[in-house]
Amino acid sequence: MSIVLPVTDDGARRRIKHLVRELNGWTRVKHPNIVELRGVCEHGMHGLAMIMPWMQDGDLNTFLLKSPNIRRAPLVRNIALGLDYLHTLNPPIVHGDVRAANVLVDSSGQARLADFGLSRVFLEVEATDSSGSSAQQGNVRWMAPERIFPEEFQLTAVTSMTPASDMYSFGMVIYEIYTGRIPFYQERNIWTIPGSVKSGKRPLHPGISVADLTGLGDDMWEIAQGCWKPDRFLRPTARQVIGRAITLDDLSRAEG
């Protein structure tokens, strides 16, 4: 995988070299539910190449299309385990772009987080560019209110990226897993979404027929809603979700 970063001066070049060293440090991050980053190197004039293992089952969306009858609670638990690992490192690593497209599935059917930390990398490299809003610097359908409007929370684009903002996005991934839809799928114009989020709008329950088809129970929906709370201090941690997901998986096994 390669990514292109803007390089406009010698200072930017130095920042990229620093980020290469930082990202290479993340090769020490090892967990069954995180895609291993095996190395990073400069690629061409303005790029970084990230070396990761190939996941033949693709991302979570592709996997669920191919395996529509699979139990989904274990996937929720897998992602929560990966987030808990990142969030409890010292210092914590914030993923920054949690969405189904950034969750890959390995040959054993385990969900694994990919691309962790890249959002912060982009923000740090582009720190001198004040032309872009926070909403432009991320995937707004999955972004917590404090990330879309950091100034209103006395935060910056970088400091608004916290484990709690990851958990908000995680709630949106639960929605994706059980509905097959992206958050706010009805709103094709992404520029209307920040206003919707600010007003308290969140994804609606998909209805009984979809819930029965995918196994979305009331308890799992409550987890998603808890992650979407506007007050970041009231959202559950990944570790709290893990315990509930284990129970829900046990229930789904018994009912299956």
Q: Where in the sequence numbering do the catalytic residues fall?
A: 97
Both tokens of 120, joined, read 């912060």
pLDDT at 85: 96
Cα torsion through 126, 197, 167, 225, rounded to 10: -170
pLDDT at 219: 94
pLDDT at 213: 95
Give the global pTM: 0.85
Q: Which CATH architecture has domain 56-255?
A: Orthogonal Bundle (1.10)
- What is the residue whose two structure tokens read 């772009």? 97
pLDDT at 87: 96
Amino acid, res. 162: T
pLDDT at 60: 97
pLDDT at 130: 44
Decide if 99 contacts 60 (C-beta within 8 A): no
pLDDT at 9: 54
Contacts of 135 (CB under 8 A, 6+ apart): 143, 148, 194
- Beta-bridge mates of residue 34: 113
Cα torsion through 27, 32, 33, 35, rounded to 10: 40
Amino acid, res. 240: Q
- How many whole angstroms separate alpha carbon 1 and alpha carbon 102? 13
pLDDT at 51: 80
The DSSP line for 160-182 is T--HHHHHHHHHHHHHHHHHSS-
- How many whole angstroms separate alpha carbon 180 and alpha carbon 48? 32
pLDDT at 115: 80
Both tokens of 138, joined, read 């991320």
The DSSP line for 212-242 is HHHT--HHHHHHHHHHT-SSGGGSPPHHHHH
pLDDT at 205: 97
Task: For the chain, 256 residues long, give each residue's pLDDT as a single digit of tens.
Answer: 444 455 555 665 666 676 777 676 677 889 999 998 887 776 666 566 778 888 888 999 999 999 999 999 999 999 999 999 999 999 898 999 999 999 999 999 999 998 876 666 556 555 544 444 444 445 899 999 999 999 999 999 889 999 999 999 999 999 999 999 999 999 989 999 999 999 999 999 999 999 999 999 999 999 999 999 999 999 999 999 998 877 766 555 545 5
pLDDT at 50: 74
- How many whole angstroms separate alpha carbon 209 and alpha carbon 227? 24
Which helix (H) or strand (E) segment is 105 a member of? strand 103-105
